[in-house]
Structure 1
Amino acid sequence: MVLIRINYNLLRMASISIHQSPIHLFSNSTHFLHRLSISSSSAATCLSASSSSFSTVCSPDKRISRYENTKAVLKGMTYTEFEKWVSSHGYRPGQALMLWKCLYGDNIWAHSVEDLEGLNKDFKKMLSKQAEFTVLKMKDILTATDGTRKILFTLEDGLVIETVVIPNEKGRTTVCVSSQVGCAMNCQFCFTGRMGLKRNLSAAEIVEQAVFARRLLTSEVGSIANVVFMGMGEPLQNIDNVIKAVDIMVHDQGLHISPRKITVSTSGLVPQLKRFLRESNCALAVSLNATTDVARNWIMPINRKYNLSLLLETLREELKSKHKYKVLFEYVLLAGVNDSIEDAKRLIDLVQGIPCKINLITFNPHSGSKFKPTSDEKMIEFRNILAEGGCVVLLRPSRGDDQMAACGQLGNPGEIQAPLLRVPAQFQAALEAAL
């Protein structure tokens, strides 16, 4: 009876937190906003009961299984957890470090026991029985005309995520990782948002995207030293696993990625944003994309819960205690919606007192979209107004758009999609003109 009760609670928690269908996620705006207040960490709570031969396990680092011999997922552990796990099987910390380097460093990026170098036979034999090396299966690699690669990965449950590798002529190649399957935010200009949220990714599923990118493409594109959490999903809705994945990525004996070269993006979940700024030294990018609540309520429904004033005031307060730290504001320019001279002037006022850079992004079209990209001339005009107002501003060129690998183009919504929201009256004429 105990086992039955635990399984029921586990299923109930999963349906509340991460596994509801898009129909339920977006059936009405009140329910949608209520869901955002539910901590994503509840889905990672470990509920277990065991007898001599049977157990149920729910953990971000272990597969859900009925059997006691569940294998530990190595890439889901921080180094401290990793070392303890190795020690629990009777091996010295030195062996743990050698294994860690085989997984993440020394240009090995091991995917199986056969890839391991320098470890004793008994240790490798134990690993073959007790450890899982990979949680992703590569499905395909698509190459855009500009050299951008989009990697499709199949997860253990059959769902698919996408990871993008963006080469840079100066050697600063970036991997753009996903943090969720789909996304619950329903931003109206984002293709991923059409999917709704399927589930969070585990720390291992996040980390392995970076490991796979290095293993597959380092020889072609050079060192991959930059990571951006700008793929599928809202990273801060999966904050526990994102912070854990980052901890694994920055370890100096592993992937050894500098915290300054890891950027986590958010649509503006204020409580999680506070936690991230207090617990992480990585860079933060905030998708702003509008200068009024009317516009942002429409194109980014999260604004109905955490509006511009609350979001920006939170950043002002939190950044006071972070020395030489600048937030990156991302601003996707949508023709006739948020690209006017008045918008540029309001944006200057909005970011006053916040140490920041502003990244202007071209809208990348996708099927079913109502929006059109702002012209190059108008983007330059918008940038110049911001620069004259004292802002540090950058223009981000579109990369990989011919393979649906550019910003806002990832994912496959399928037949059941999140709803398109009603266009506010003041934008209807402009939107029709853009179309």
Structure 2
Amino acid sequence: MEKRRQMRTAVLSVQAGRVALIGMTRAELRAWATAQGWPAYRGDQLFMWLYARQARSFDGMTDLPRALREALTERAVIEWPEPLRRDVADDGTVKYVLRLTDGAVVETVFMPRPDGRATVCVSTQVGCPMGCRFCVTGAMGFGRNLTAGEIVGQVLVVRADHPEVVGWNVVLMGMGEPLLNLDAVEKALDILWDPRGLGIGPRHTTVSTVGIVPGIRRLMTRPVRPRLAVSLHAPEPALRARLVPVERKYGLFELMQALREVPLETRREWVTIEYTLIGGVNDRPEHARRLARLVRPLRCKVNLIPYNPAPIFPLEEPTPEAVEAFARILRSHGLTVTVRQNRGRRVMAACGQLGYEFVRPEARGPAEGTTGP
């Protein structure tokens, strides 16, 4: 019990009382610099070094005076998650197993694209409290929330490994429910978006939620907003409650009302509806027709996700014919539909598979295709 309580405690740097700088916004770094007796613009310089130039030590910050660098070494620390392993799939997807400063472990996924861009899928919690009946991470249970620095740190680790990438997308779709850790998520977004740092704009950032209605309303009424993806997975309350237990707290129709209220101001803004197709469960033509009626009032795109199997669940993949028929019905109702590529499945890096090795051993089967660090 004590160990679980400690895991849920927000992580602060304890290295000889030094403050952890990764996770501070530019405004916070300016304020911290001033509190140290330095000009505020030193905070701007630190922000650029930490995020744009991805400095790992203060010694390399060559435009700072030596005395300042020495003071920084005494008073602050730069902490990144530690890669324990990189599992590489044959499609180029890389799953990172990352250890945090308290020993907790999360997984992050790198997905390259043919055009030279790439997407990094980051985690926001250790484990997940949502317990979706087809998601491995939910079977882990909940450890704790990540800090803003731990969220941003995942992006820093992956970017440092892939200097060849010409542009980045960030999706908060890894381990955990982002809208149950919204303070840290919003702070991380502010850091990711700052043009003097990582400069990954809101249009290249997506937050995915299982449907935490108060969090949706808070996040999507910000002056600057990310893209929003909502994990629906069923077109009716009874079936959704079987698959997604949060339906019992935030029901489908309450969720639909919240999505209708999302301010979409341009043609380039929409809500993505994520729908995992599970063979014989929610993939029949009648499910497609009900889903079309449910979401057609929204400005949305539907992303169909064929179920990625895991040995801990007695579930089946949908047939290719069922996926195509489902998509065809949605399109016949005027909806924009995409079918997600199953990337990284052989290293348990696909949607719904993260955290497989942290589920109790007796429930697991072997995952194929892993490689060492």
- The residue type paired with residue 235 of structure 2 is T
- Aligned twin of 1:315: 259
Give 2:48's aligned amino acid: K
- Matches of 2:170 and 2:212, distance apart in 1: 21
Q: Deviations over 1:333-361 (max 9, x none)?
A: 00011111101110111012211111011
The one-letter amino acid of 1:258's match is: G
Write the distance in 1 (CA, Å) between the matches of 2:125 and 2:178.
Answer: 7
1:58-207 equivalences under 5 Å are: 62-63=12-13, 65=14, 70-105=17-52, 108-207=53-152
Q: Tell which deviates more after alignment, 123-132 or 194-203.
A: 123-132
The structure 1 segments of at least 4 consecutive aligned residues displaced by more than 6 Å after TM superposition are none
**Residue of structure 1 in register with 2:369 after alignment:** none
* Residue deviations 1:39-66 (CA, integer Å, cap 9, x gap): xxxx66xxxxxxxxxxxxxxx6x33x5x
Match of 2:236 among 263, 287, 292: 292
C-alpha displacement of 1:315 = 1.0
Match of 2:370 in 1: none
1:230 to 161, 168, 173: 173
* Corresponding residue of 1:381: 325
Which residue number corresponds to residue 271 of structure 2? 327
In structure 1, how many angstroms separate the alpha carbons of the residues matched to 2:297 and 2:60? Answer: 51
| Deviation of the 1:413 alpha carbon | 3.4
TM-fit CA distance, 1:405: 0.8
Q: Is the partner of 1:218 in helix, strand or coil?
A: coil
> Is it true that 1:252 corresponds to 2:195 in the alignment?
yes
- After superposition, the CA RMSD in angstroms is 2.1
Asked if the contact 1:196–1:417 (Cα under 8 Å) also holds between the matched residues in 2, the reply is: no
Quote the Cα distance in structure 2 between the aligned partners of 1:355 and 1:131.
Answer: 46
Amino acid at match of 1:88: A
Contact 1:175 1:224 (C-alpha < 8 Å) held by counterparts: no
**Alignment correspondent of 1:394:** 338
CA distance in 2, matches of 1:377, 1:115: 56
Deviation at 1:98, TM superposition (A): 2.2
Does structure 2 conserve the Cα–Cα contact (< 8 Å) formed by 1:78 and 1:247? Answer: yes
Aligned 8 A contact 2:25 2:47 in 1: no
Unmatched 5+ stretches in structure 2: 364-373
Match of 2:219, as an amino acid?
Answer: F
Residues 172-205 of structure 1 show CA distances to partners (whole Å, capped at 9, x for unaligned) of 2000000000000000110111100000000000
Paired with 1:224 and 1:111, the residues of 2 have a C-alpha distance of: 22
Report the 3-state secondary structure (helix = DSSP H, G, I; strand = E; otherwise coil) of the residue aligned with 1:85: helix
What percent of counterpart residues are identical? 40
CA deviations on 1:110-152 (whole Å, 9 max, x unpaired) are 1122342322101111111111101411111111000001111
Under a length normalisation based on structure 2, what TM-score does the superposition of the two structures give?
0.91
Indicate yes or no: 2:368 matched with 1:368. Answer: no
Look up the equivalent residue of 2:342 and give its one-letter code: S
Alpha-carbon shift at residue 71 of structure 1 (Å): 1.4
Secondary structure of the structure 2 residue equivalent to 1:399: coil
Question: In terms of Rg, which structure is larger?
Answer: 1
**Equivalent residue number for residue 306 of structure 1:** 250
1:124 is aligned with what amino acid? R
Q: Distance in 1 between matches of 2:350 and 2:133?
A: 16
CA distance in 2, matches of 1:232, 1:246: 17
Q: Is the 8 A contact 2:292 2:330 kept in 1?
A: yes
SS in 1 for 2:324: helix
Cα contact 1:188–1:299 (8 A) shared by 2: yes
More helix by share: 1
What's 1:210 paired with?
A: 155
Counterpart in the other structure of 2:185: 242
Q: Indicate if the aligned counterparts of 1:194 and 1:413 stay in contact, CA closer than 8 A.
A: no
Distance 1:404 1:224, change over 3 A: farther
For 2:307 and 2:180, the matched residues in 1 are separated by 24
TM-score (norm: length of structure 1): 0.79
Instruction: Provide the rounded CA distance (Å) in 1 between the counterparts of 2:103 and 2:39.
Output: 37
- Distance in 2, Cα, partners of 1:182 & 1:416: 16
- 1:269 equivalent among 212, 223, 226: 212
Matched residue count = 359
SS in 2 for 1:346: helix
3-state SS of paired residue (1:378): helix
Judge conservation of contact 1:163–1:178 (CA < 8 Å) in 2. Answer: yes
User: Partners of 2:257 and 2:67 in 1: how far apart?
Assistant: 57
- Report the AA paired with residue 249 of structure 1: L
Question: What code does the residue aligned with 1:232 have?
Answer: M
1:374-433 CA-partner distances (Å, limit 9, x unpaired): 111211111111111010111111111111111111113333999xxxxxxxxxxxxxxx
CA positional deviation for 1:224: 4.5
**Alpha-carbon distance, 1:18 to partner:** 7.0
Q: Distance in 1 between matches of 2:30 and 2:361?
A: 44
Code of the residue aligned with 1:305 in structure 2: it is: K
- Deviation at residue 323 of structure 1 after TM alignment: 4.5
Matches of 1:322 and 1:70 in 2, distance apart? 46
- Once the two structures are TM-superposed, the CA of residue 223 in structure 1 deviates from its matched residue by 2.9
